[in-house]
A = this chain, B = another copy of it.
Amino acid sequence: MASNTRITPRAEDYSQWYLDVISAADMAEHSPVKGCMIIKPHGYAIWEMIQKDLDARFKAIGVENAYFPLFIPQSFLSREAEHVEGFAPEVAVVTHAGGKKLDEPLVVRPTSETIMYEVFSGWIHSYRDLPLLINQWANVVRWEMRTRLFLRTTEFLWQEGHTVHATHDEADAFARKMLDIYVDFAENVMAVPVIPGQKSDSERFAGALRTYCVEAMMQDGKALQFGTSHNLGQNFAKAFNVKFSDENNVEQLAWQTSWGVSTRMIGGLIMTHSDDQGLVLPPKVASVQAIIIPLWFKDEERAPVMEKANALLAELQAAGVRGKIDTRDGRPGEKIFHWEKKGIPVRVEIGPKDIAAGEVVIARRDTSEKSRVAIGDAAAIVSDLMVTIQKNLFDRALAHRESNSVGVSTWDEFVTAIEVGKFVTAHWSGDADDEKKIKEATNATIRCIPFSEASSSGTCVFSGKPSNQRVVFARSY
């Protein structure tokens, strides 16, 4: 299963580099079914780390997991006008099953608002049933024309949270609270700095009142949406009759939110941290944080080296580090190369000479630095490195974003900055037509209206119209 792909340098071909990193790290591959991907063990392990961390965060604020059907009657999708317009063109449709033509075609879920809210309307009777806080880990399908491993695939894995509240403000606060969770997760677990904000109307989720989002910058300067949280208002509640009796026994329409992150984040993780040698994983999402490579040249050296390797593994585990010993046959250079491509944060080499000197070699994946340390200190040093590397990756990504972000006030500056791949903060009046023209002219879209920029007055960088907000423009994935 090992891959020996040469990794194209970023400077030579960024797109090919991305695919090469995935292939060299053995994370995923295209499947025989067009647009679908196979997530291989090393890629899936990252998804498991993501699931475990986020799931605990959701549960800590009272969200419960449930599971709803894969199939949605086609008629459900049509009930919310914007929603069907947004999703109808990209659904996969089951027309036959059990050897017969179905009376009503079934859509393979592109997202589950419609099926869930139809059911929620039966669950909710009074204000005592609120808030209802549900999450689902599932696969969804959106028929994409141009696919790209992790970033855009026909089928992908995600979590979709769906909540119901008694008031607009409570729903909005919950949608914002979830965005805060996504920010903290992105920055402190994935080591990916993100800009939280709100989407413009044209980038809003189909059927939502407001879409909040977190946007990250990739190494090529393009933006990647890391997660979204929608204040759905009462749009779906109206369409699916989600009502409750309030304290005065008066029937009220409910207020809803939905929010999600997907396997797309793994694409963002790769493009934030990896280098020309391959994948670089932040320690918090690495299922193996430290790989021990025992080295020997003569058969009789094997036993003492393995003994030290096993002892060190035990010490690492006791220090809370997820360690592993590479016990495979093979040449040392190949082994080192193998784990480097897989992005393991720290490599520890132990050979006969090291043992004689009472030392081991520790190599950091993020900086390629190597150092010799006393074997008795190794576990503590590796444990500390987990914190150091996690922080370094975040700081490096943040510095990259900051040096590639610019605020502009003229159209010339705008065009130039977009052309060289920057995040551009500029005034925009809120006019959707101007937004469209800017996209046509530069291929840049509004990534978000950062919360920090939501009230500042000036004039639109494109049209000169009065503006009370600065927004972030960029080209995006």
Contacts and interface: CB of A to CB of B under 8 A. Distances in A.
Given A1-B132, A73-B32, A119-B31, A64 B41 contact: yes
A290 to B, nearest CB: 18
Interface in A22-60: 29, 31-33, 36-41, 44-45, 47-48
A71 B39 CA distance: 14
A357 B129 CA distance: 36
A97 B91 CA distance: 6
B108 A37 contact: no
Interface in A350-395: none
B98 A141 contact: no
Nearest to A328: B128
A331 to B, nearest CB: 14
Contacts of A48: 65
Contact of A66 (B40, B72, B105, B129): B40
A84 interface: no
A94 interface: yes
B95 A93 contact: yes
Contacts of A72: 33
A105 B94 CA distance: 10
Nearest to A71: B33
Contact of A38 (B65, B67, B157): B67
A112 B73 CA distance: 25
A188 B96 CA distance: 42
A399 B105 CA distance: 49
A91 B98 CA distance: 6
Contacts of A65: 41, 44-45, 48
The A interface, classified by DSSP as helix, strand, loop or mixed, is mixed
Interface string A89-112: 111111111110000011010000
A33 B106 contact: yes
A145 interface: yes
Q: Tell me how many chains of this kind the complex includes.
A: 2
A70 B141 contact: yes
B1 A69 contact: no
Given A94-B93, A95-B93, A119-B31, A68 B38 contact: yes
A434 interface: no
B69 A155 contact: yes
Interface residues of A, number: 57
Contacts of A406: none
A96 B64 CA distance: 34
Contacts of A64: 41, 44-45
B98 A95 contact: no
Contacts of A73: 32-33
Interface centre among A33, A69, A108, A138 (most CB of B within 10 A): A69
A396 to B, nearest CB: 30
Contacts of A93: 94-97
Interface of A: 1, 29, 31-33, 36-41, 44-45, 47-48, 64-73, 76, 88-99, 105-106, 108, 115, 118-119, 123-124, 129, 132, 134, 138-139, 141, 143-145, 155, 157
Given A31-B69, A33-B72, A95-B95, 10 more contacts: A32-B73, A33-B69, A41-B66, A44-B64, A89-B98, A92-B98, A93-B97, A94-B95, A96-B105, A139-B139
27 contacts: A31-B115, A31-B119, A32-B119, A33-B69, A33-B73, A36-B69, A38-B67, A38-B68, A38-B69, A38-B119, A40-B66, A41-B66, A44-B66, A45-B65, A47-B67, A69-B155, A70-B139, A70-B155, A89-B99, A92-B96, A93-B94, A94-B108, A95-B96, A98-B144, A108-B108, A138-B139, A139-B139
